[in-house]
Chains A and B, each alone.
Chain A
Amino acid sequence: MFNVKDREFVIPGQLIGDNVYCTENCFSAENKVHSSIQGMVRVMGTRGKIIPISGAYTPKRDDVVIGLVVEVLECGWLVDINSPYMSVMMGEEATKNVMEEDLSKYYNVGDKISVKVIRVNEVYNFDLIRPRKLNEGFIINVNPKRIPRVVGKRRSMLEILRKKTGCNIVVGQNGRIWIKSDKPDNAELAVKAIKKIEREAQTSGLTNRIESMLDDERRK
């Protein structure tokens, strides 16, 4: 049974419960389950998990991330995805004649791309496919553990952000968010709302609060 309540904060090493089933971010020692990070415990019936406050992004299969091209190589591009792990995106993603062409004409150093992660193995070697160049706009960095809250259940939060600010927004699972708008005021409003979501991610009723905050700002 659980030693902690739902939505309680825990620190590394804290006892979560005896003989319980806990999925993420915990370890077990002699039938007792302990937290391995600082975060918030969610208890759902007989299962529990711990939502981390902070941590580095580790690539996961099928994640869409926003990468920055760091280097143009003979066979592809070296892409930084805000993670301790980097990968090479193969030239085949842009053209069939990889060796004959100068790949920098497709993606050059400093280009922002949204790309999908596939085939992640135990030492975090992974491949990147289906790149899309993100022209203009700018990128903000957000705690990667807060991204699920920025997207929301069934993308509810993201839809509100897009509709109420009128910006193009692409959310990367690696903590990078690309925003583009013709009106700089709208872009600034989007950044303000995202930073508020990042700060208050673990509170409830956040979607409604963000919606009313955006309505108030637009009326001004």
Chain B
Amino acid sequence: MKLIVDGKRLDGRKFDELRDIKMEVNVLDRTVGSAYVQWGNNKVLAGVHGPREFHPKFLRDPTKAILTCTYNMAAFSVEDRKRPGPDRRSVEISKVISDALSSVAVLEKYPNTGIDVFVEVLQADAGTRCVAIVAASLALANSGVPMKDLVSACASGKIDGEIVVDLMKEEDNYGECDLPIAVSPRKGDVLLLQMDGHLSRDEYNKAYDMAVDGAKKVYDMQKKTLMDSMTNYVEGEGK
């Protein structure tokens, strides 16, 4: 399947162009923090519970909170019904998101507790782990848990020999490589780095740089979303 026609991608985007992204925080009433992110055709909802008592008690940490993220894809999120419940891929993505968020959250402030982040993918269209991290990071900031920085994420990859940013479903399925990354935008620390496919050393450097640029654009949107939610809150239009 040809993924680049007349120098443009199948959805008309340029090689360094991201899909349309919309973000909102404070969307759920039963959680302390929540966020909804629409990225291309991806629709992802994140909710945060906690800090709260951690069970089982013998596993709790008296020096810091334990942050756990649970990533789940809804049965209707993909074209062929996905069997409900965690599968190996969901468990892996849950782990990498938990690790990424644990490195930025100031967990020492709440010893002996647990902070639960739930990410539900309502509609999937490639790059869901990046969308999930972006949503989870917004929800965590919204909940008031102290963090050293937000987490931004973006994927890049190789299709038809070209390095492009933000792969969509067809590009992810038929492309040659997929490289999701997550960074802490202030310091540039890499919090998630995975690769699926083949890249030469130079291609990898180019793809990595493009993904980091994409993540920076996402960070600007995250910042604006949080700022807007605070102004709305004060002027009486929020929850």
Contacts and interface: CB of A to CB of B under 8 A. Distances in A.
B234 A203 contact: yes
A201 B109 CA distance: 25
Contacts of A196: 236
Interface range on chain A: under 10, 10 to 19, 20 to 34, or 35 or more? Answer: 20 to 34
A122 B53 CA distance: 16
Interface residues of B, number: 37
Contacts of A55: 143-145
A123 interface: yes
Given A12-B150, A13-B150, A123-B62, A38 B110 contact: no
A36 B150 contact: no
B33 A11 contact: no
B149 interface: yes
> Which of B50, B142, B186 has the most CB atoms of chain A within a 10 A radius of its CB?
B186
Interface in B184-239: 184-186, 223, 226-227, 230-231, 233-236, 238
Contacts of B147: 12-13, 36-37
Given A54-B32, A84-B113, A123-B111, A13 B238 contact: no
Contacts, number: 94
B35 interface: no
Interface string A73-99: 000000000001110000000000000
A58 B110 contact: yes
Interface in A18-39: 25, 27, 34, 36-39
Given A36-B147, A199-B236, A84 B141 contact: no
A9 interface: yes
Contacts of A38: 141-142, 144, 226, 230
B238 to A, nearest CB: 7
Interface of A: 9, 11-13, 15, 25, 27, 34, 36-40, 52-56, 58, 84-86, 122-124, 145, 196, 199-203
Interface of B: 32-33, 50-53, 62, 104, 106, 109-113, 141-150, 184-186, 223, 226-227, 230-231, 233-236, 238
The 5 nearest A-B residue pairs measured at CB: A55-B144, A13-B149, A54-B144, A36-B146, A12-B147
